Each structure stands twice: as structure tokens, then as C-alpha cells.
């Protein structure tokens, strides 16, 4: 995160870290049950390559209170295009823990985030929160989870006339001083409605470098994929929204 601040240990309770070969390269968002939302470009169809770390705060902390989940199946959106980053969205279906019907042990530090069902739920100008262990302005990845507020931006296609596609959404600040960056990919952009309910409105996807004026961060617009999420999770999410 460029222009971010350090989080407190349980601030972003739906934030997960996607680990591949022992390294955290991406973030994700916990949707509840056995479901994690991330970017398609963060994963491959090989579930055994990935671990999902819950309630991780400091990557290198000696006291490890994180919960690790295994992946049963990687569901990459059928329209994902690795060249254009169209439909850069994926669901990780976690393995059920032995002897239970759950994929996670009880942990008060973990909370699910809601899935938005309509692209009308939040309007341009709304301030939302991004979080991740990705690069800062100096290009350093972070040990502690960072967060920042960014505004939803109208007319994403005006910033990226050649690369904008339906299902993409822009967020950032006018100065370009706050942005997601490499390593934050797959992580959530979360907006709160007036009653305090948190929705994962975006998934960190791409952008022209980070924190450049006129080049906001580009996110997969989760509401655009509501039907796919609902069907893929076998309607799981509707029970919670
Ligand atoms: C990346 O390389 C990346 N400023 C992610 C987000 C942004 C740029 C690049 C948005 O994964």
C-alpha cells in the first residue's frame, strides 16, 4: 500500500494472506464458511500449491497465532484473461478440517465480509479501505499489514482508455498519493454502508505503477460478479447477506 498506515492486530478481520511455496504474494478476503475471494492472477488451478493464512498481522512475528487453511479447489473465473486482466477474480474453496464440518477453527479475530449484490450499492466518491502487505512508495513490501482510504472513481475508462473492461473499477485519490501496489493483489477494497455493514467492493487487480497521478488503482468490481460468486459458492453467501 502506498500512502498507508499500519493496522492494529485485529483491525481488518477478513484479510487473509495467500501463501505459495512458503511466500506471501497476495491478499484475499474471507467470505465465511469455506470461501476466500482473491484475484485470478494470484492463483493457478493447483490447490496443493496454496495455503491461506488467517489473522496474520506481522509476517515475521515470532508469536504465530495465525490459522492456516488448505485449499480444496481453486475456482478461477471462466472469463479470466491473463493478458488483459479481464475478470481477474477467483474463489478459493478451503478444505474441511478433519472431524468437523468447518474449514476454520473458532477464532474471534476472524470475521467474514459481505458480498455486494448490486453495482448501485456504493457511488463514486465513497471512501473505502484497502489493505495489504504489498509495496509502499519506496517499493518495499511490508512486514506489518497496512491500510489506507481510497475513493471510488467514476469513469475508469478515461484513465485507461485502452485497457478498461466491464467488471473493472477504479479507486484512489486525485493526487495519486494513496494506492494499492504490487503484493496487495487479490486483497480487498472494503466499503461500509451507513448501518456499518462492510462489503468487499473491489479486489486489487492492476494499475499503471502505483500512486501515479492520473493512474488510479484498478479493481475487479465484486458486485459485477455476484451471480458467479453465488453459483460457485452454491448460494452460500446469500445466507449471510
Ligand atoms: C501489481 O503489480 C499491481 N496501483 C497491483 C496494484 C496496482 C498496481 C500494480 C495498483 O500487482
- C-alpha cell at position 97: 478440517
Rounded Cα gap, residues 88 and 169, in angstroms: 12
How many angstroms does the Cα of residue 3 sit away from the middle of ligand 1? Answer: 14
3-state class (DSSP) for residue 205: strand
158's enclosing H/E stretch is helix 156-159
**Nearest atom in ligand 1 to 184's CA:** 5
3-state class (DSSP) for residue 224: helix
How many angstroms does the Cα of residue 135 sit away from the middle of ligand 1? Answer: 9
Rounded Cα gap, residues 4 and 1, in angstroms: 6
Beta bridge partners of 54: 16, 67
Rounded Cα gap, residues 230 and 212, in angstroms: 35
Confidence band of 79 (pLDDT split at 50, 70, 90): very high
Rounded Cα gap, residues 128 and 122, in angstroms: 10
| CB 39, CB 26: distance < 8 Å | yes
Measured CA distances, 99 to 30, 65, 70, 110 (Å)? 22, 22, 15, 21
Q: Which residue has the higher pLDDT, 63 or 78?
A: 78
**Nearest atom in ligand 1 to 41's CA:** 11
| CB 17, CB 53: distance < 8 Å | yes
For a ligand 1 pocket test, name from 136, 189, 204, 208 the mutation site with the most ligand atoms within 8 angstroms of its C-beta: 204
Confidence band of 238 (pLDDT split at 50, 70, 90): low
For a ligand 1 pocket test, name from 139, 184, 215 the mutation site with the most ligand atoms within 8 angstroms of its C-beta: 184
pLDDT in tens, 39-60: 999 999 999 999 999 989 888 8
- Considering all CA atoms of the chain, what is the largest pairwise distance in Å, rounded to the nearest integer? 53
- C-alpha cell at position 68: 492456516
**179 exposure class (CB count in 10 Å sphere: 0-12, 13-18, 19+):** buried
| CB 180, CB 210: distance < 8 Å | yes
How many angstroms does the Cα of residue 182 sit away from the middle of ligand 1? Answer: 4
Provide the annotated active-site residues. 41, 88, 185
**pLDDT at residue 237 in the model:** 76
- C-alpha cell at position 17: 494472506
| CB 31, CB 166: distance < 8 Å | no
Q: Looking at residue 239, what DSSP letter applies?
A: G
Cell 445466507, residue? 239
How many angstroms does the Cα of residue 102 sit away from the middle of ligand 1? Answer: 33
Confidence band of 101 (pLDDT split at 50, 70, 90): confident
pLDDT in tens, 145-197: 999 999 999 999 999 999 999 999 999 998 999 999 999 999 999 999 999 99
pLDDT value at 65 more than 70: no
How many angstroms does the Cα of residue 186 sit away from the middle of ligand 1? Answer: 10
**Nearest atom in ligand 1 to 210's CA:** 4
Rounded Cα gap, residues 118 and 180, in angstroms: 24
ipTM: 0.98
Q: Ligand 1 pocket by C-beta < 6 Å: which residues? A: 179-182, 184-185, 204, 206-207, 210, 217
pLDDT value at 38 more than 70: yes
Confidence band of 100 (pLDDT split at 50, 70, 90): confident
pTM: 0.96
**pLDDT at residue 63 in the model:** 62
**pLDDT at residue 179 in the model:** 98
Rounded Cα gap, residues 211 and 178, in angstroms: 6
For a ligand 1 pocket test, name from 141, 163, 217, 219 the mutation site with the most ligand atoms within 8 angstroms of its C-beta: 217
Amino acid at each position: 500500500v502506498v500512502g498507508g498506515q499500519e493496522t492494529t492486530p485485529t483491525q481488518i478481520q477478513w484479510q487473509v494472506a495467500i501463501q505459495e511455496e512458503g511466500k506471501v504474494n497476495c491478499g484475499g478476503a474471507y467470505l465465511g464458511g469455506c470461501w476466500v475471494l482473491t484475484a485470478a492472477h494470484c492463483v493457478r488451478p493447483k490447490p496443493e500449491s496454496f495455503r491461506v493464512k488467517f489473522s496474520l498481522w506481522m509476517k515475521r512475528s515470532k508469536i504465530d497465532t495465525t490459522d492456516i487453511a488448505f485449499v480444496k479447489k481453486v475456482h478461477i473465473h471462466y472469463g479470466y484473461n491473463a493478458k488483459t486482466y479481464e475478470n481477474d477474480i477467483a474463489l478459493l474453496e478451503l478444505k474441511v478440517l478433519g472431524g468437523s464440518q468447518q474449514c476454520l477453527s473458532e477464532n474471534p479475530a476472524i470475521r467474514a465480509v459481505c458480498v455486494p449484490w448490486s453495482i448501485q450499492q456504493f457511488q463514486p466518491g465513497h471512501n473505502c479501505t484497502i489493505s495489504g502487505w504489498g509495496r509502499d512508495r519506496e517499493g518495499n513490501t511490508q512486514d506489518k499489514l497496512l491500510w489506507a482510504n481510497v475513493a471510488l472513481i467514476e469513469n475508469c475508462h478515461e484513465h485507461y482508455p485502452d485497457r478498461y473492461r466491464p467488471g473493472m473499477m477504479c479507486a484512489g485519490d486525485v493526487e495519486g498519493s494513496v494506492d494499492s501496489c504490487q503484493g496487495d493483489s487479490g486483497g480487498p477494497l472494503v466499503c461500509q454502508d451507513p448501518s456499518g455493514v462492510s462489503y468487499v467492493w473491489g479486489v486489487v487487480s492492476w494499475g499503471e505503477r502505483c500512486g501515479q497521478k492520473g493512474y488510479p488503482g484498478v479493481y475487479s468490481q465484486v458486485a459485477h460478479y455476484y451471480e458467479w460468486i453465488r453459483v460457485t459458492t452454491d448460494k452460500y453467501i446469500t445466507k449471510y447477506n
